Amino acid sequence: MNRNIEDYIKPGARAHLVGVGGVSMAPLAEVLKGKGVDVTGSDMKESEAVDHLRSLGIPVVIGHLPESVEGAGCVIRTAAVHNDNPEIAAALAAGIPVFERAQAWGAIMRHYQNALCVAGTHGKTTTTSMCTHIFLAAGRDPSVMIGGTLPILGCGHRVGHGDTIIAESCEYCNSFLSFAPTVAVILNIEPDHLDFFKDLDDIKASFRRFAQLVPSTGSVIVNNDNPGARSIACGLDPFTFGLEEGAECTAANLTWERGLPTFDIVVHGEKYAHVSLRVGGIHNVSNALAAASAAYVLGVPGAAVEEGLDAFTGAGRRFERKGTFHGADVYDDYAHHPDELRALLTMARTLGYQRIICAFQPHTYTRTAALFDDFAEALKLADTAVLAPIYAARETDDLGMSSEKLAEKIPGAVSCGSLEEVTAQLADMAQPGDLILTVGAGDIYLAGEALVEKR
Between 156 and 422, name the one with better pLDDT.
Answer: 422
Would residue 409 show up in a list of annotated catalytic residues for this protein? no
Q: Are 407 and 415 in contact (CB under 8 A)?
A: yes
Task: Determine contact, residues 305/289, Cβ cutoff 8 Å.
Answer: no
The mean pLDDT of 404-413, rounded to a whole number, is 96
Which pLDDT score is estimated for 153?
Answer: 84
More confident residue, 268 or 399: 268
Please tell me the distance from the alpha carbon of residue 53 to that of residue 29, in angstroms, as a whole number. 8
pLDDT confidence bin for 302, thresholds 50/70/90: very high
Q: What is the crossing angle of helices 101-109 and 25-34, to 10°?
A: 40
pLDDT tens digits, 334-386: 999 999 999 999 999 999 999 999 999 999 999 999 999 999 999 999 999 99
What digits encode the pLDDT tens for the residues 174-195?
Answer: 889 999 999 999 999 998 887 8
The average pLDDT across 38-61 equals 94
- Average pLDDT estimate for 238-247: 96
User: Which pTM was predicted?
Assistant: 0.82
Residue at 23: amino acid letter:
V
Residue 414 has pLDDT above 90, yes or no: yes
Q: Give the three-class secondary structure for 42.
A: strand
Instruction: Assign 313 to helix, strand or coil.
Output: coil
Q: Which residues of 416-435 are buried (b: 16+ CB within 10 A; e: fewer)?
A: beebebbbbbbeebbeeebb
How many whole angstroms separate alpha carbon 23 and alpha carbon 44? 14
Contact 134, 300 (CB under 8 A): yes
Catalytic residue chosen out of the listed positions 168, 171, 306, 340: 168
What is the average pLDDT value for the chain, to the nearest integer? 94
Half-sphere exposure of 5 (CA within 13 A, CB side): 21
Which strands sit side by side in the sheet containing 60-62, from one edge to the other? Answer: 60-62, 38-43, 14-18, 74-77, 98-100
Task: Spell out the residues 6+ positions from residue 369 whose beta carbon is closer than 8 angstroms to its own.
Answer: 399, 401
CA-wise closest residue to 398 among 406, 408, 388, 390: 390
Instruction: Answer for the pair 137, 311: CB distance below 8 angstroms, yes or no.
Output: yes
438 among known catalytic residues:
no
Distance of CA 454 to CAs 166, 288, 314, 423, 438, Å? 39, 37, 26, 9, 16
168 in catalytic set? yes
2 has a pLDDT exceeding 60: no
Identify whether the C-beta of residue 283 lies closer than 8 Å to the C-beta of residue 123: yes
**Strand, helix or coil for residue 309:** helix
When comparing pLDDT for 315 and 143, which is higher?
Answer: 143
Domains of the chain from N-terminus onward: 5-104 (3.40.50.720), 112-310 (3.40.1190.10), 320-453 (3.90.190.20)
Supply the DSSP string of 142-185, one letter for each residue: -EEEEEEEETTTTEEEE---SSEEEEE---GGGGGGG---SEEE
Which residues pair with residue 267 across a beta bridge?
A: 249, 270
* Burial class of residue 55, CB neighbours in 10 A (0-12, 13-18, 19+): exposed
* 169 pLDDT above the threshold of 80: yes
| Lowest-confidence segment of 26-35, 287-296, 333-342 by average pLDDT | 26-35
Centroid of chain to Cα 302: 25
Strand order across the beta sheet in which 183-186 lies? 155-158, 143-150, 164-168, 114-119, 183-186, 219-223, 239-241, 249-257, 260-267, 270-276
Largest CA distance in the chain: 65
Q: Beta-carbon neighbour count of residue 210 at 10 Å?
A: 23
Q: Does residue 455 have a pLDDT over 70?
A: no
Q: How far apart are the first and last CA of the chain?
A: 61
Amino acid sitting at position 395: E
- pLDDT value of position 297: 98
Q: DSSP assignment, residue 305? A: H
Active-site option among 30, 100, 121, 124: 124
| Type of residue found at 188 | N
Radius of gyration of the chain (CA): 22
Residues in the chain: 455
Residues in Cβ contact with 257 at an 8 Å cutoff, skipping those fewer than 6 apart: none
Q: Nearest-CA neighbor of 18 among 102, 80, 110, 94?
A: 80
Q: Are 404 and 415 in contact (CB under 8 A)?
A: yes
Which one is catalytic: 78, 125, 127, 423? 125
- The answer to whether the Cα torsion of 180, 184, 187, 192 is positive or negative is positive
Q: What is the pLDDT of residue 323?
A: 94
Give percent of the chain above pLDDT 90.
81
pLDDT of residue 239: 98
Helix (H/G/I), strand (E/B), else coil: 219: strand
DSSP 3-state percent helix, strand, coil across the chain (nearest 5): 35, 25, 40
Q: Which pLDDT belongs to residue 142?
A: 96
Which pLDDT score is estimated for 125?
A: 92
- DSSP label at residue 401: -
